Structure 1
């Protein structure tokens, strides 16, 4: 048998570096947002139709405006979306480049 590998080159050491090189908590929060079907549908709608209102999101997803508003509050709190008042309505846009890329990777296309 050959000489034992140094810890730096061992699989365990490389694994430790992989964990240290990534912001685990940020990724966990993002995946948590995407894991909820309601929020994922909303994010897909925002991706395809930037500037969509709460009423239009509710219509698109088949959910109540209240349920959509609650999901948007969570997404806004996590800095994933941007909401802007235009006249009497508030429009929403996806504002997270990483989530944007993830949506592309799962097959989401632009309108």
Structure 2
């Protein structure tokens, strides 16, 4: 069972690294690059979705002090759902338009 939790923690660290890179540079993974219209929102969503398995693993290995299982379960699910909703919103919302590109005629 420990290897499953460890693999989840590794995936969480990779998602957090992807979110940090997206927030710092605006770079998106090539598989999602065509769909993402708001990179900052995508980066925050990746941070939230990656934090969930990482924190759950820290509770499992008793690195963090234990709290009730209800708080761990519902808190982890809420964090993961929030991250996934932010990632979905980053793909579904229309792109923001900068003020200098609104009028293509240049007048």
Return the TM-score normalized by structure 1.
Answer: 0.29
Q: From the two aligned structures, give the one with the greater strand fraction.
A: 1
Q: Which has the larger radius of gyration?
A: 1
Q: From the two aligned structures, give the one with the greater helix fraction.
A: 2
Return the TM-score normalized by structure 2.
Answer: 0.30
Larger RCO, structure (CA 8 Å, separation 6 or more): 2
